[in-house]
Amino acid sequence: MALDTRKFDALLTQLKGLECKDMYDNDFFLTWEKTDDELKAVWTVADILRTLREGNVSTKVFDSGLGISLFRDNSTRTRFSFASACNLLGLEVQDLDEGKSQIAHGETVRETANMISFMADVIGIRDDMYIGKGNAYMHAVSDAVREGHDAGVLEQRPTLVNLQCDIDHPTQTMADMDHIIHYFGGIENLKGKKVAMTWAYSPSYGKPLSVPQGVIGLFTRLGMDVVLAHPEGYEVMGEVEEVAKANAARSGGSFTKTNSMAEAFRDADIVYPKSWAPYAAMEQRTELYGNGNFDGIQALEQQLLAQNAQHKDWTCSEKLMSTTRDGKALYLHCLPADITGVSCEAGEVDASVFDRYRDPLYKQASYKPYVIAAMIFLSKFQDPAAVLRQLAERGQQRQFEMK
Amino acid sequence: MALDTRKFDALLTQLKGLECKDMYDNDFFLTWEKTDDELKAVWTVADILRTLREGNVSTKVFDSGLGISLFRDNSTRTRFSFASACNLLGLEVQDLDEGKSQIAHGETVRETANMISFMADVIGIRDDMYIGKGNAYMHAVSDAVREGHDAGVLEQRPTLVNLQCDIDHPTQTMADMDHIIHYFGGIENLKGKKVAMTWAYSPSYGKPLSVPQGVIGLFTRLGMDVVLAHPEGYEVMGEVEEVAKANAARSGGSFTKTNSMAEAFRDADIVYPKSWAPYAAMEQRTELYGNGNFDGIQALEQQLLAQNAQHKDWTCSEKLMSTTRDGKALYLHCLPADITGVSCEAGEVDASVFDRYRDPLYKQASYKPYVIAAMIFLSKFQDPAAVLRQLAERGQQRQFEMK
Amino acid sequence: MALDTRKFDALLTQLKGLECKDMYDNDFFLTWEKTDDELKAVWTVADILRTLREGNVSTKVFDSGLGISLFRDNSTRTRFSFASACNLLGLEVQDLDEGKSQIAHGETVRETANMISFMADVIGIRDDMYIGKGNAYMHAVSDAVREGHDAGVLEQRPTLVNLQCDIDHPTQTMADMDHIIHYFGGIENLKGKKVAMTWAYSPSYGKPLSVPQGVIGLFTRLGMDVVLAHPEGYEVMGEVEEVAKANAARSGGSFTKTNSMAEAFRDADIVYPKSWAPYAAMEQRTELYGNGNFDGIQALEQQLLAQNAQHKDWTCSEKLMSTTRDGKALYLHCLPADITGVSCEAGEVDASVFDRYRDPLYKQASYKPYVIAAMIFLSKFQDPAAVLRQLAERGQQRQFEMK
């Protein structure tokens, strides 16, 4: 369990070459609001934190302090990833459970944000269910605590990490990309790689759009050829498609769309088959909820299920996999997947495909705690490289080791 | 983020002059069970802890240990304040969620209290819903763990902090007063200040009495002129009024009652307009619950709402505010407030008044974590000033700082 | 609060003589899967950890890291014991609340186990409701994280502690035995002591079998004469009875069965009267649940209650207690007990008996956090004695003490 100093030094040198000072005292909402250097800083710090932990070096930079989590949707992996990230840095997680709180009794966002933040260093929020709401809510919270800090109410300003909103899922896609970078042996090897971000059939409805949107908004920045595939009627947010196009133009990659899963998979280096709900339907649902029209919601859900059922052939089968680059594209999923014959009768992926990729899939997920920790870290230290160097020198053990 | 040593030294000198040794190994139930010096010690230690934290000096005095929280009513700010206070001192919060526990299956208070306390250093309880029950329950818990400690069951005796009972809300009112002391530039400036603790209309019913009771029980100790105002029929506990009278006599202040909000506000330096339920009705409700008479409860609630509705003119309007000292009384609320046109059609306060006082209101709330931490701290160290001095000397950083 | 070094040294010497290296990087499922030395190591390390804590010496061996708890049944004391144990060693507890997670949405055990474990050092599970399921589930989780670790997904392998399954309740019975060892002044004094593990009447049904099974599976290893008493029809798992027989044969003790509570109590040194459900009924219930036959379950419950009611005379009365060794057998219970006239009309034990033994009962429970911590500790360090020695030398304070 000794620190791999060569690896550590190499990563640190990399980090020093990146311009990331604007991340200090700042939030992380959408990947496309960050510069390339800033994203690289997240991956590099994530790798450094992991290297230190593997070397049994503590990266506890907080002696006390809270990490507040607010999940407005069920979650296992993101919840535990956030908890792990906070713990790694020395923050104790406090979950704002809206059921147990007085929020229902008329507290405003501004008030609640300040009331929970007296000793909070970071706030992580998942709010992905309603179009136009989640990201806006996060901004409202961030503005509130910034004002609270400016007014002298909060001694420190808690920075915000978007744990999934209606637009993007940056901790997921940044972890996905960290996995890809490692898999292909470096960011420099990604140019020209073909990525198929495709819709896939699921017997459930209403899955958020943040993953496909986040993927096309991020992967197009690395010179990859990103294909977005879905049946007609499953469009994602137009604004994010514009982001993807602009990214591709800048990075020397491409962003194309197709209504054929086969076309997307052909010669792909990476496939990401996953169900989502049509953007238009999600907008409609948001409106119905807003009006308290529950009959309308139920009708919409039935309609969505019927619509999904017309596309059961959109599944990541062995046959489709065999058409990818050497039949060996890297299969990605944010998990949990709907696996045909395992978690449902017919779903997003064949059981044999999923089984073959289990270890890489779990590794993909394993980057998330480090990516979140890196986002927090970069928002807390003006000179992250210097701090990481001093942490290595401090040499505090994560687990007690015999002298 | 360097420690303000002049401020620190001054506060420490102040603390050394206070007699607070009986707080050691003791609980905090009601403010009027404490001496003036003990209350001053709480404010002083709270300010010292805040000064240390602002100076990035860790006040972690526990390397391990639990802080147990037991909330029998919904809570956001007190829950997070308790969690923050525990975290600041190094204790991990464990919430006793009675739904998840076996308490329903016939555990006695004595048994549960011991079973959760093997490694607990403090227990915080909110139990404010039933007259004659909450404070009694806290005493039962405290007695149980004292006996458990004496019998050798518990290695340490967890001390108890009253996070709101049927009689008092000491962490709230002590935080309120800490705010007032800072606002008016020192405890010595409070003599003769007029305080209006007044009932205000709210469209909800059954709000606890612990805040108005706690306020008249505490504020009367500082030489202030405390006026309790409410419509006829909204009396608070008679015993607490007696406490307030005796306090005022001792402190050279006064305690008066009126059924006119206007009279209370006239020339007031501080106003605290807030809804509460009539004591008699709360007693009746407690009895109805005891008998399982849910029809009776519903009838009572309707009656209370109707009774409230007769007093919609009891609201903290701009007009009333203009009658206070220079039109600029300090507006207090324990939050969340019922704000007219914001959280309800008609409520306790005009939106423009609330808006103008938002920052001071949030600051008022920001003292609570430190007040709770001070209560815990004073119950754990025989010579708190000496320990605080050594913590400053230790100079452990709360957040890692570059050398 | 100074460390009792004589006691500490004696315990450490004891520990050094025990062969427990196979506990390193291993799980704790059933006591009868462990060697005598390994069980002794648990009691010894538990006593050492307690001695250090009593001497205000921190035993924090983790600077960061998570302890995951998964309770599939309500729990107070085991939940808090696990939390206390984790906290004592420096791990932060994260509860996997299946209601808040996506488990319902088709995550497999293997996947969930890995997804929550990226920074987990230990997983504690209670799953005691269904015959043939709980222990199997724990093994599935353990296998999953071992595979995840081997595949490079998890940097550390979280070890598993059985917090109660369908077969055994090792943290309970090991704590019980630690209490007995202290009560009788040493493990060497237990030979020939008569233990009555007997069924007792309770107005509730369906209590798990893990305690009586765990008791006969463990207590028979120490040369004691263990009598299992219950009405006809309340048999426990046959396999565990076989374990008890074999244990008794090896240890020079005995294992006998009777349908008479009086016979079991006669001259007993230790009595453990406690209700449980018939094994056959529990199997039936498991099957009914599996088939979703809720009418069948309700019918079974009525039948079980009626069956219980025929044995109201199976109660730990003063009269029965007077027939034990000198009328002073050590009374044990895992708590909460059904106390006649207190928590129910007629139950497992007379109120006067329970009251007389309250302090010893609470002490019995107080060993559990230390037993759990010892199990974790032994799974994390190859040379536990050397680490404990160094912790004493490090002399880090649990609670800040003045210099």
- Which backbone phi and psi does C391 adopt, to 5 degrees? -65, -40
Which pTM was predicted? 0.97
Contact assessment for residue A217 and residue A246, using Cβ atoms and an 8 Å cutoff: no
Asked if the C-beta of B63 comes within 8 angstroms of chain C's C-beta atoms, the answer is yes
Give the phi and the psi of residue B284 in degrees, each rounded to 5: -65, -45
* Alpha carbon C170 to its chain's center: 3
List the Cα angle B82/B84/B85 in 5-degree steps: 65
Under 8 Å between Cβ of C377 and C384: yes
pLDDT of residue B105: 45
Q: Cβ contact (<8 Å) for B336 and A106?
A: yes
Percent of chain B whose predicted confidence (pLDDT) is above 90: 87
The amino acid that residue B132 corresponds to is G
Sign of dihedral through CA atoms A119, A124, A127, A131?
Answer: positive
Residue A393 contacts B where some CB pair is shorter than 8 Å: no
Instruction: Give CA–CA dist A283/A287, Å, rounded.
Output: 6
- Cβ contact, residue pair B63, C397, below 8 Å: yes
ipTM exceeding the 0.90 mark: yes
Q: How many interface pairs between A and C have CB atoms less than 8 angstroms apart?
A: 116
How big is the A-B interface in CB pairs under 8 Å?
117
**pLDDT over 80 (residue C101):** no
Neighbors of chain B by Cβ distance (3+ pairs < 8 Å): A, C
The token pair at A273 is 């088959």
Count Cβ atoms within 10 A of the Cβ of residue B342 and give its class: 0-12 exposed, 13-18 middle, 19 or more buried.
middle
Instruction: Answer with the residue of higher pLDDT: C364 or B106.
Output: C364
* Gyration radius of chain A over CA positions: 21
Inter-chain CB proximity C153 and A363 less than 8 Å: yes
Q: What is the pLDDT of residues A237-266, one digit of tens each?
A: 999 999 999 999 999 999 999 999 999 999
CB within 8 Å: B397 and A63: yes
Query: Confidence band (pLDDT; 50, 70, 90) for C145?
Result: very high
Do you know the residue count of chain C? 403
Closest partner CB to A74 (pick from C101, C148, C152): C101
CA torsion B222→B228→B234→B235, rounded to 10°? 60
Rounded mean pLDDT, B366-389? 98
In terms of phi and psi (left: phi > 0; alpha: psi -120 to 50; beta: otherwise), the region of A297 is alpha
Give the DSSP letter string of A221-270. Answer: GGT-EEEEE--TT----HHHHHHHHHHHHHHT-EEEEES-HHHHHTT-SE
Question: Contact, C194 vs C325, CB < 8 A?
Answer: yes
pLDDT for the residue B100: 55
Query: Rounded to an integer, what distance in angstroms lies between the CA atom of residue C243 and that of residue C253?
Result: 13
Q: How many CB atoms lie within 10 A of CB B306?
A: 10
Residue B108 phi, psi dihedral angles, 5° rounding: -85, 160
What are the Cα distances from residue A18, in Å, to A11, A34, A378? 11, 13, 12
Strands (E), A286-365: 330-331
High-pLDDT (> 70) share of chain A, %: 98
Q: Given this model, what pLDDT does residue B106 score?
A: 45
pLDDT-based confidence at A107, cuts 50/70/90?
low
Q: Which of A24, A58, A63 to mutate to test the interface with B (most CBs of B within 10 A)?
A: A63
pLDDT of residue B178: 98
CB nearest to B153's CB, from C60, C362, C396: C362
**Record: contact A397-C116, CB cut-off 8 A:** no
Residue C39's CB is within 10 A of a number of other CB atoms, namely: 21
Q: Which residues of C touch B114 (CB under 8 A)?
A: 362, 365
- The conformational region for residue B81 under phi > 0 = left, psi -120 to 50 = alpha, else beta, is alpha
Q: Does B4 touch chain A (CB under 8 A)?
A: no
Residues 6+ apart with CB under 8 A from B189: none
| Overall average pLDDT of the B355-360 stretch | 96
Chain B residues with CB-CB distance to C396 below 8 A: 63
Residues A331-351, mean pLDDT to the nearest whole number: 95
What are the tokens at C25?
Answer: 């990087």
Reduced to 3 states (helix: H, G, I; strand: E, B; else coil), residue A327 is helix
B60–A contact, CB cutoff 8 A: yes
Strands of the sheet with C330-331, listed across from one edge: C254-258, C225-229, C194-199, C270-274, C330-331
Backbone angles phi, psi at C389, to 5 degrees: -60, -45
Residue C148, min C-alpha distance to chain A (Å): 8
CB-based contact C62 A365, cutoff 8 Å: no
Q: Which residue of chain B comes nearest to C71, CA vs CA? A: B100
Contact C176, C197 (CB under 8 A): no
User: In this predicted model, what pLDDT tens digit does every residue of B308-345 receive, in sequence order?
Assistant: 999 999 999 999 999 999 999 999 999 999 999 998 99
Phi and psi, residue A260, nearest 5°: -125, 120
Q: Per the CB < 8 Å rule, is A111 touching B399? A: no
Report which of B11, B364, B342, B25 is spatially closest to residue B182, judged by C-alpha positions: B364
Neighbours of A98 (CB within 10 A): 16
Residue A64: what are its φ and ψ, rounded to 5°? -150, 175
Question: How far is the C-alpha of C299 from the C-alpha of C307, rounded, in Å?
Answer: 12
Name which of A13-27, B165-179, C61-75 the model is least confident about: C61-75
Which segment of A377-381, B12-16, B342-346, C15-19 scores lowest on mean pLDDT? B342-346
Contact B119 C84 (CB under 8 A): yes
Report DSSP letters for A192-219, one per residue: T-EEEEEE---SS----SHHHHHHHHHH
Closest-CA residue in chain A for C120? A84
With beta carbons less than 8 A apart as the criterion, state whether A391 and A59 touch.
yes
- CA of A4 vs chain B CAs: smallest distance (Å): 23
Output the pLDDT for position A105.
Answer: 45
pLDDT higher than 50, residue C130: yes
What single-letter amino acid sits at B287? E
pLDDT at C55: 97
- pLDDT digits 0-9 by tens, C214-233: 999 999 999 999 999 999 99
Looking at residue A75, its pLDDT comes to 83
The average pLDDT across C95-111 equals 70
Q: Is B112 on the interface with C (CB under 8 A)?
A: yes
Residue pointed to by tokens 């709180």: A101
Task: Summarize pLDDT for C320-374 with one digit per residue, the tens.
Answer: 999 999 999 999 999 999 999 998 999 999 999 999 999 999 999 999 999 999 9
Distance from CA of B39 to the nearest CA of A (A): 22
pLDDT at A284 over 70: yes
From C395, which residue of chain B is nearest by alpha-carbon distance?
Answer: B63
- Read off the pLDDT of each residue in C16-28 and give the average, rounded to a whole number: 98
Report how far residue B52's alpha carbon sits from residue B59's, in angstroms, rounded to the nearest whole number. 7
The per-residue pLDDT for range B57-88, each reduced to its tens digit, is: 999 999 999 999 998 877 888 999 999 999 99
Q: Does the distance separating the beta carbons of C54 and B107 come in below 8 Å? A: no
Model confidence band, residue A100 (pLDDT cutoffs 50, 70, 90): low
Task: Check CB contact of C65 with chain A, cutoff 8 Å.
Answer: yes
Provide Rg for chain B, Cα atoms.
21
Cα–Cα distance for residue pair C163/C72, rounded to 1 Å: 10
Asked if B122 is an interface residue toward chain C (Cβ–Cβ < 8 A), one would say no
State residue C104's pLDDT score: 45
**Interface mutation target, options C68, C102, C149, C157, chain A, most CBs of A under 10 Å:** C102
**Cα(B374)–Cα(B63) distance, integer angstroms:** 18
In B, which residues are within 8 Å of A154 by CB distance?
A: 366
What part of C 344-383 touches B (C-beta under 8 Å)?
Answer: 344, 358-359, 362-363, 365-366, 368-369
- The model's pLDDT over C199-215, given as tens digits with 9 standing for 90+, comes to 999 998 788 999 999 99
Q: So what's the pLDDT on residue C75?
A: 83
Contact list, B362 vs chain A (CB under 8 Å): 111, 114-115, 148, 151, 153
pLDDT tens-digit readout, A119-171: 999 999 999 888 899 999 999 999 999 999 999 999 999 999 999 999 999 99
Asked if residues B101 and B136 have their Cβ atoms less than 8 Å apart, the reply is: no
pLDDT at position B141, please? 95
How many other β-carbons are positioned within 10 Å of the β-carbon of residue A73?
Answer: 14
Interchain CB contact of A188 with B (< 8 Å): no
Q: Is C92 in the B-facing interface, judged by CB distances under 8 Å?
A: yes
Tell me the CA distances in angstroms from B220 to A104, A122, B372, one per residue in order. 34, 40, 21
Interchain contact, A108 vs B402, CB within 8 Å = no
| Mean pLDDT, range A62-88, rounded to an integer | 93
Q: At A102, phi and psi to the nearest 5?
A: -95, 15
With an 8 Å Cβ cutoff, are C343 and B148 in contact?
no
**Order of strands, sheet of A66-71, starting from the edge strand that comes earlier in the sequence:** A92-95, A66-71, A120-126, A159-162
Place C395 in a pLDDT band, splitting at 50, 70 and 90. Answer: very high
* DSSP 3-state of C5: helix
* B93 close contact with A: CB closer than 8 A: yes
C182 CB near a chain B CB, below 8 Å?
no
Contact predicate C63/A396, CB 8 Å = yes
Contact with chain C for residue A87, Cβ under 8 A: yes
C161's tokens: 């502690």
Interface contact flag, A64 B87, Cβ < 8 Å: yes
Is B203 within 8 Å of chain A by CB?
Answer: no
Chain C partners (3+ C-beta pairs within 8 A): A, B
Residue B107 and residue C342: Cβ atoms within 8 Å? no
More confident residue, B19 or C204: B19
Compute CA distances B13 → A138, A305, B19, whole Å.
44, 71, 13
Cβ partners under 8 Å of residue A43, min gap 6? A174, A177, A178, A181, A187, A371, A374
Distance of residue B200 Cα from the nearest chain A Cα, in angstroms: 17
Which of the residues C49, C74, C361 would you substitute to probe the B interface, choosing the one with the greatest number of B C-beta atoms within 10 Å?
C74
Q: Average pLDDT for residues B37-55, to the nearest whole number?
A: 98
Q: Do B152 and C363 touch (CB under 8 A)?
A: yes
Beta strands in A4-142 (DSSP E): 66-71, 92-95, 120-126
User: CA A28 from chain center: how many Å?
Assistant: 11
Cβ burial, residue B217 (10 Å; 0-12/13-18/19+): buried
Would you call the peptide bond into C336 cis, given omega within 30 degrees of 0 as the criterion? yes
**Any idea of the CA torsion for B343, B345, B348, B354, to the nearest 10 degrees?**
50
A106 pLDDT above the threshold of 50: no
